[in-house]
Amino acid sequence: MPAKKATKKSAKKAAKKVTKTTAKKAAKKVTKKIVKKAAKKAPAKKAAAKKVAKKKPAAKAAPLHHEIAERAYYCYLERCAKGIPGDSAGDWAAAEKQLTS
């Protein structure tokens, strides 16, 4: 009888090993298929993203207050150097126009 028990145990161990290895192989096959499908879909997504990017130009951010102030100062210096009359409001408007265009 002990021989039968030993063979049953070894048969169970062998069956577990076989199921584990087949499960691992099956999992590898499934992951390979998923990776292949994702690789095929990726170029299509990139192409679609490029089309969207071409259709919609990137919105230009409005200049910040300190950027406008700095540019207005340079407009003031340029205006004073040329001897052109004006005021700070005109320099500010000119600076905004230059930075937004």
21-68 pLDDT, tens digit each = 666 666 666 666 666 666 666 665 565 666 655 666 667 788 999 999
Mean pLDDT of the chain: 76
**Identity of the amino acid at 49:** A
Closest by CA to 62, choosing from 90, 29, 100, 28, is: 100
pLDDT at 13 over 70: no
Residues 72 and 94: beta-carbon distance below 8 Å: yes
pLDDT at 16 over 90: no
pLDDT at 92 over 90: yes
Q: Residue 3 has what pLDDT?
A: 61
